[in-house]
Amino acid sequence: MNYVYIRSEPGLWTVGFYAPDGKWHSESDHPSTEEAAARVNYLNGGTPHD
């Protein structure tokens, strides 16, 4: 499983993953792509960026 982010509505990016059956599971919401990407990086095993 890999986490991704999607634009869930204008100005809101949601982090989550798709289950094997295609169902979306949200994990957190963020106001920018930068914050969403940082969260995805962390959840997928990356290191935090300062």
* Separation between Cα atoms, residue 33 and residue 39, nearest integer Å: 10
Cβ-contact 12, 26 below 8 angstroms = no
pLDDT of residue 48: 75
Predicted pLDDT of residue 34: 97
Please determine, for residue 50, whether its predicted confidence score (pLDDT) is greater than 70. no
Higher-pLDDT residue of 36, 50: 36
Break the chain into its structural domains and give their ranges. Answer: 3-44
Tokens, residue 15: 């982090």
**pLDDT tens by residue, 7-42:** 999 999 999 999 999 999 999 999 999 999 999 999
- DSSP string across the chain: ---EEEEEETTEEEEEEE-TTS-EEEEEEESSHHHHHHHHHHHTT-----
